[in-house]
């Protein structure tokens, strides 16, 4: 004990207390954050951390499905969206604008009518092809008709490739009409039509409609 007192000095006591404080301070640091603000970190370190975080997120985003997101720069699909700008292909289908999806062509297989014509038959109709005003042709070209003889006409849909057509009598003021209409194909877009009156048992110059399905 005497030997301890002989070796005890101010310097020894100070060194011992410093060691104790250093050890207790380390324990305090283990239980508390020494850095509690980004202002205490070098800006270059922060930028490096942001770059690393962004790279890791991009890698994860390729295989992770996000259940909900406030916004997305790009997405393959979405089950629901509160709002969205117009998708690149939302205004067209099969590269056809929505406003023109009923195609005005003769090759589409969607089921639209390929043509129709209302033939105003009369004894004074021309024997030469003349334009039909009430008509539609999927080729965009004109529809023409001519009178061959009483009750027989030829109707031509220019540029139309179809081979099948249906015809019916236009009853007009006489309803129901006693007329029977026969159709004979003469080639693509070309038909010969005969109107037969069952009461008189003779062909008659009565108007008829031709439909190309």
What domain range is 125 assigned to?
Answer: 115-212
200 part of a folded domain: yes
35 part of a folded domain: yes
Q: Using one digit for the tens of pLDDT, what is the confidence trace for 51-72?
A: 776 776 666 666 666 666 667 7
CATH of the domain at 152: 2.60.40
Query: How many domains, in total, are found in the chain?
Result: 2
pTM score of the predicted model? 0.54
Q: Using one digit for the tens of pLDDT, what is the confidence trace for 71-83?
A: 776 777 776 766 6
* pLDDT > 90: percent of the chain: 39
Domain identity same for 128 and 45: no
Residue 189 in this model has a pLDDT that exceeds 90: yes
Strands 96-97 and 92-93: antiparallel
Tell me which residue of 139, 151, 143, 61 sits closest to 107, measured CA to CA: 139
Q: How confident is the model at residue 196 (pLDDT cuts 50, 70, 90)?
A: very high
């Amino acid at each position: 004990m005497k030997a301890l007192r002989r070796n005890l000095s101010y310097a020894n006591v100070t060194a011992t207390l410093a060691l104790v404080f250093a050890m207790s301070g380390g324990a305090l640091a283990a239980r508390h954050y020494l850095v509690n603000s980004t202002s205490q970190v070098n800006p270059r370190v922060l930028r490096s951390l942001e770059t690393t975080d962004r790279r890791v997120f991009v890698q994860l985003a390729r295989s992770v499905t996000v259940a909900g997101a406030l916004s997305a720069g790009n997405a393959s699909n979405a089950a629901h969206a509160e709002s969205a700008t117009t998708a690149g292909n939302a205004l067209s289908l099969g590269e056809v604008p929505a406003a023109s999806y009923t195609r005005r062509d003769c090759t589409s297989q969607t089921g639209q009518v390929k043509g129709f014509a209302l033939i105003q038959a009369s004894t004074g109709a021309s024997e030469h092809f003349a334009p039909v005003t009430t008509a539609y042709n999927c080729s965009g070209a004109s529809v023409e008709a001519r009178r061959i003889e009483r009750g027989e006409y030829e109707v031509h849909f220019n540029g139309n490739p179809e081979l099948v057509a249906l015809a019916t009598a236009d009853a007009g003021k006489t309803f129901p009409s006693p007329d029977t209409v026969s159709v004979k194909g003469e080639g693509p877009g070309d038909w010969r039509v005969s109107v037969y009156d069952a009461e008189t048992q003779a062909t008659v110059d009565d108007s008829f409609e031709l439909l190309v399905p």
